[in-house]
Amino acid sequence: MAVETRRLTMGKAIAEAIAQEMERDPRVFVMGEDVGVYGGIFGATQGLYEKFGPERVMDTPISETGFIGAALGAALEGMRPIAELMFVDFFGVAMDQIYNHIAKIHYMSGGGFKVPVVIMTAIGGGYSDAAQHSQCLYGLFAHVPGLKIVVPSNAYDAKGLMIQAIRDDNPVMYFFHKGLMGLGWMTPQPSAMSEVPEEPYTIPFGKADVKRPGRDVTVVSVAMGVHRAMEAAEVLARDGIEVEVLDLRTLVPLDRDAIVESVKRTHRLLVVDEDYLSYGMSGEVAATVAERALDYLDAPVRRIAVPDVPIPYSRPLEQFVLPSADKIVAAVREMLGE
């Protein structure tokens, strides 16, 4: 039977995934700031309030500690809450709830309690929202045992990964990049839209996706970085340089086999990360290759990430620190000795 699809933005795909799971499972509900009548300031909950009402789509006060703690309690009582942390930058006030309780209760109870919470949150810069509204920070949470980390790059993946997250019995942090959501007030990224099946489907965690095959250099990334890598690959292809673009999709679990196999084919690795350079995703990917595929490398591993400074408000300075297609093109040419 043919699968019916439509071309959706990432925001609509996420909202559709949540709606279908709410229809399937009455234990699923949503809470957060402006997730109800407004539909989420980034559109991830659009239409849910009208369909399911205030009992299952709850606007909360500006109290991340309170509603993320409430999500934890609901999960322990058998519900399957989705809590939206409006910007990941706001995690600080709820960090004890996240890393000391949500991430650890399953372990500390000897497996006696499950915590099926999804915390979805917005990441990324590029629109002059400055140091407190533009970070990614998924590397920080990936460092904490007990949390699964999801970072989609397009609408198809966003829907399948969200449904997988809701059905997971463990806590999942789901990071969506604001620039990929299809918002009218941000610079559009049309490549984030994709054909999305109408029916529910899942994408398993820990399965990276080769977005573009190549033979010369492997570029590993997530979210917006995948699109910057694809743009760079198009430019380099005009000169006969074939870049393989690997979209990790999830950082925990991390598809280390896919990284290693790709590097064995291309013999060069470039990691592109909108998170900070030090102690993050780029270092973990590089370490994986150093441990398992060092002898296959024809050039040192390169990393393009945000230097260890707060994200600037100034547009020129912000563009200076963020990864870009031009930076990727230049790095690949240097790796090839051009």
Q: How many Å apart are CA 289 and CA 254, to the nearest integer? A: 13
Question: Is-catalytic flag, 267?
Answer: no
DSSP helix/strand/coil, 300: coil
Q: Where are the beta strands (DSSP E) in the chain?
A: 5-8, 28-32, 57-59, 80-87, 118-123, 148-150, 172-177, 194-197, 209-212, 217-221, 243-247, 250-252, 269-276, 302-306
Beta-carbon count within 10 A of 205 CB: 21
| 305 within 8 A of 279, measured Cβ to Cβ | no
Give the helix ranges, DSSP H, for 168-312: 224-237, 256-266, 281-292
Q: Where are the beta strands (DSSP E) in 95-187?
A: 118-123, 148-150, 172-177
Nearest to 246 by CA among 213, 285, 284: 213
Which residue in the list 101, 106, 133, 227 is annotated as catalytic? 133
Extract the tokens encoding 167. 């059905």
Q: What is the separation of C-alpha 141 from the centre of its chain, rounded to a whole number of angstroms?
A: 12
Measured CA to CA in angstroms, residue 218 lies from 57, 190, 269, 286, 309 at distances of 42, 23, 5, 12, 27
* Residue given tokens 């609509």 in the structure block: 12
- Residues with a catalytic annotation lie at 133
